[in-house]
Chain A
Amino acid sequence: MATFFFHEETLPPDDAGHSTLVRYYYDDIAAEALTRSFRLLSSGARMEFIDNERIPLADLRPDLKVLVRDSLTQRERSDLRLAS
């Protein structure tokens, strides 16, 4: 376990009418969240990668911190189940 996906959300459309999809990952070695942002193109299901950013855990939005904590707990339990 190191970097894993835990959340995604779609931001409202910009002036050009493009929405942005942001996927959140957690890197449990660096204790940082990693975001990958995608522009959702109007031509159906296509999207285009924009960039990624790293956010220290301390700077992460409180609701996302809860999601990280829940994911970590769930994954820990899953590891324990496998180990048993």
Chain B
Amino acid sequence: MDVNTGDLGFPIWLRLNHFVNLFCIFFLMRSGLQILADHPKLYWNDHCRPGSEWVKFGKKKMPANRLFTSMDEAEDVSPVFAIPGGHHNLGAGRNWHLLIVTLWVLNGLSYVGLLFASGQWRRLIPTSWSIVPEAWHSALTFASLHTPPPSSFHPYDPLQQLVYCAVVFILGPFMIMTGLAQSPALIARYPWYLRLFGGRQGARSLHFIGLMLMVGYVLTHLVMVIMVHFPRDVDRMFTMFSPPGSSPAVASVVAAAALIFVIVCHVAATLYTRRRQRGFQSGATTIVEPIVRLLFGRLWSYQDYDSSAVTAEHHVNGYPPENADYRRVAANGFRDWRLRVTGLAERPLELSLDDLKRMPKHAHTAMHNCIQGWTGIARWGGVRVQDLLHICRPTPQAKWIVFHAFVQEEYAPEHYYEAFRLEEMSDPQTILAYEMNDQPLPFRHGAPCRLRLETKVGYKMVKYVQRIELVASLDQVGFGHGGYREDHQFYDKVASI
């Protein structure tokens, strides 16, 4: 055991970091479960072929003889376990996750920074290999339902020190790294990053396994705090503004109050999110969206997977339109379909599918990242949106570009639409795709053409495109929040993670 830790004590910043971590960790777990429930299957392959999952939660059985979408596979989840709970409350779950993870990472960085700045790192990082046999001895002691004597704690027992060190310096960063791998923007710009985890689904599975380890750690930690030399550790961590040991009774009261505070926060946050979904969306995205734009907003896609990587059975969301308008143009191979570019353009356009095909064609093989968690790889061919914009010439007032789809029955009488900042169209791999895997775009994937913007999650990539509109403000688009999903399901509008 390394005994050169001296009397490091438990400084106030360490106790505050510990409390903020306690506050964050349960929010992260509950919001993570909400996200998982929307596609409660985990894979080790990026094709997500039905049946290839290594673990599946929920009881839903999907029909084998008809088209179903991944939205149909989403499971309800209890608000006791998830925030906000319920059916397909993915937008709020994501906003909670991104909001709290920001606080958690800042708290973690300040904790690690202060550990090294103050010399407190010696309480966590072993400086002698002798800790390994000592930790093993300690593990055997605990396994025999005995407790090492207080003299073994300097301030931690060797096993405790190793576990804390692993959680702070391995599990925490591991969760951040696998979490970052969920960003389509990051993995589109740096496809090699995914190889560290065996692919996007590998990263997602490892993130889940990390969550299980974190849950196991938290439960064990709580049990050990109570079982081993109670209330010593409570006293150390919750004697907030006095030296530890000066007022054990007060420390116990503060610890109980802290736990009650966290529970009350969870109950209040869950109720508020369910009852004031728009208010929560507005508040959370005000904080989250600038951070996501800062981290991922300027990343362009550099993907070009090998053709052997193409997914055979690509998942889909959104059913093809069934109405007369769509059927009429579909019936003759979309010869009468016209793409209209309207709004704040010097030269409004009306283009046929042949007109689009006469423009320079660009193709790339890229990974589709659904917001629910599944992925697929396909080759997409079409015309760059940037080329269309060069022809129609947006006026200086145009700030947003909106893609409007045909009416689909699941959204009727409205239609699906999504808006983007005009500069987001600069990515060379942002195309209006009319081909998938070198064939005309299939109905279920958005025929006659769909948007491909490889740095965003799938809900931003409008299918069955009928019209493109240039506008000055989001107030002119639907309910003004950035798109159909933002308006109706409280998603964020940046969608880069």
Contacts and interface: CB of A to CB of B under 8 A. Distances in A.
Partners in one complex: yes
Interface in A1-57: 1-5, 8, 23, 25, 27, 29-30, 36, 46-49, 51-52, 54
Nearest to A53: B87
B278 A48 contact: yes
Interface in B400-417: 409-413
B29 to A, nearest CB: 25
Given A4-B409, A5-B413, A29 B63 contact: yes
B488 A36 contact: yes
Given A47-B479, A49-B488, A29 B412 contact: no
Contacts of B411: 5
Interface of A: 1-5, 8, 23, 25, 27, 29-30, 36, 46-49, 51-52, 54, 75, 78
B278 A1 contact: no
B410 A3 contact: yes
Interface of B: 62-63, 67-69, 72, 87, 277-278, 319, 322, 409-413, 479, 487-488
Contacts of A49: 278, 479, 487-488
Q: Is the interface of A mostly helix, strand, loop or mixed?
A: strand
A29 B62 CA distance: 8
Given A1-B409, A2-B410, 20 more contacts: A1-B319, A1-B322, A2-B68, A2-B69, A2-B72, A5-B409, A5-B410, A5-B411, A5-B412, A23-B413, A25-B410, A30-B72, A46-B479, A48-B479, A49-B278, A49-B479, A49-B488, A51-B277, A52-B488, A78-B322
21 contacts: A1-B322, A2-B68, A2-B410, A4-B322, A4-B409, A5-B410, A5-B411, A5-B412, A5-B413, A23-B413, A25-B410, A29-B62, A29-B63, A30-B72, A36-B488, A47-B479, A48-B278, A48-B479, A52-B488, A54-B87, A75-B322
Nearest to B409: A4
A36 B414 CA distance: 12
Contacts of B412: 4-5
A4 B67 CA distance: 14
Contacts of B488: 36, 49, 52
Nearest to B322: A1
Which of B63, B322, B409 has the most chain A CB atoms closer than 10 A to its own CB?
A: B409
A1 B412 CA distance: 13
